Structures are given as C-alpha cells and as structure tokens.
Amino acid sequence: MVFHSLKMPGLKSALGINQGIVQLTHQYGMPSGTSMGTYNTTAASITCLRCRREETFVVDLYFGNTAMMVTVPLGTLYPFCIGKPPENGGPPASDRSVGMGYTECPHCSKDFFCSAVIHHGILVSIEPDRTQLPLIPDSESPGRTNCPECRSPVTQQQYFHGFDHSKLICQACGVVRSIRIEGNT
C-alpha cells in the first residue's frame, strides 16, 4: 500500500500528458482536489501492453467512491458517492461510462493505464489503454529536442515498449509532452 502511494506524484504528471497531445479519453478518474491516495481494485485477465503476456492483473481504480478501498469483482456493482457529481466520485451521468485504472504487470513489472467500463452501474470490463503513456519507462536518454515550453535544452526522453509515443520531460520547467516516435512501428 505504501508502495502505491509513492507512485502518486508520477501519476499526476502522467495526467499532465492529457492536456498535451494525447487526448483525454476518460470521463471520470482522479478528480482534482480529492485524495490521490485511495483507490478501489479489481482483478482482470488482460494482455500486458508492455510484454504482451496474458496475466491476471490487479487493477487500481481511481474513480467513484474510493474511500473504503474495496475490491470490486467484474460483473458487480461499482461504488459511487450518491448525490455527488461524477468528478467528485458521484455516479456517471450516462448508462455507459469509462473510469481510469492503472496496473503493473505481475510478469514484467512494467505498468500501463486501463479503461474500466461501467455499464448501468456495473463494472463490466477492463481494457488496456494505449492512449496514455505509462509511468515506468523501458529506457531513458537525454532529450533530442528542447523543451517546447521554456526552450531549455535540458530534457529527458523516456521510451515504453508497445507504445508509439515517447515522453519528453523538461528538467527545467517540468513540462511533460508525449511525442510520436517517427519511423517506428
């Protein structure tokens, strides 16, 4: 549990990517102003985006009512804060919605984000999300471009197996950008 709370600053900066090039696909998840340290969990059999192995993953779910930190099996009702707006843990406004999940592979120990699909209040499935870059890189190198914000040349580039974008991190102003890897499949 302590290990997970250590990931939170990284998770925050990962969300910063969504304001950049990669689109925010989640309707709910990680509401600002609420505690970042709580989440629910579920177990799902999915194929790792990093090593492509199918495993049973424990997925952390950062939306809805996370105060009790419960395990929510697939196919059961998901907890929401009744009477609150969706961004503060309340129930979704539509019959079908998607919340944010995050997981680490039990085989390769690398991470990726997931979409948790809620249908009529029930957690129906977990789908790996390739649109958000993970937090744990496979490799790192000095950045190949200056910071797009402050023009500082002191940048770091992170690469993730299975993703067609790299992450450019400015060491001066802290901006994080997702950059398409050219000529790479």
Interface residues toward Zn ion, by CB under 5 A: 48, 50-51, 105, 107-108, 147, 149-150, 152, 170, 172-173, 175
Shortest reach from residue 78's CB to Zn ion, in Å: 26
The alpha carbons of the chain give a radius of gyration, in whole angstroms, of 17
Cβ closer to Zn ion: 165 or 177? 177
Shortest reach from residue 72's CB to Zn ion, in Å: 23
Helix (H, G, I), strand (E, B) or coil at 23: coil
Task: Tell me the two tokens of residue 123.
Answer: 């957690």
Report d(CA 18, CA 83) in Å as an integer: 28
Shortest reach from residue 147's CB to Zn ion, in Å: 3
Shortest reach from residue 1's CB to Zn ion, in Å: 22
Cβ closer to Zn ion: 87 or 138? 138
Cβ closer to Zn ion: 48 or 114? 48
Burial 90-122 (b: 16+ CB within 10 A, else e): bbbeeeebbbbbbbbbeebebbbbbbbbbeebe
Shortest reach from residue 142's CB to Zn ion, in Å: 14
Cβ closer to Zn ion: 49 or 72? 49
Report d(CA 163, CA 106) in Å as an integer: 19
Cβ closer to Zn ion: 58 or 173? 173
- Residue 166 contacts residue 155 (beta carbons within 8 Å): no
State the first-to-last Cα distance of the chain, in angstroms, to the nearest integer: 36
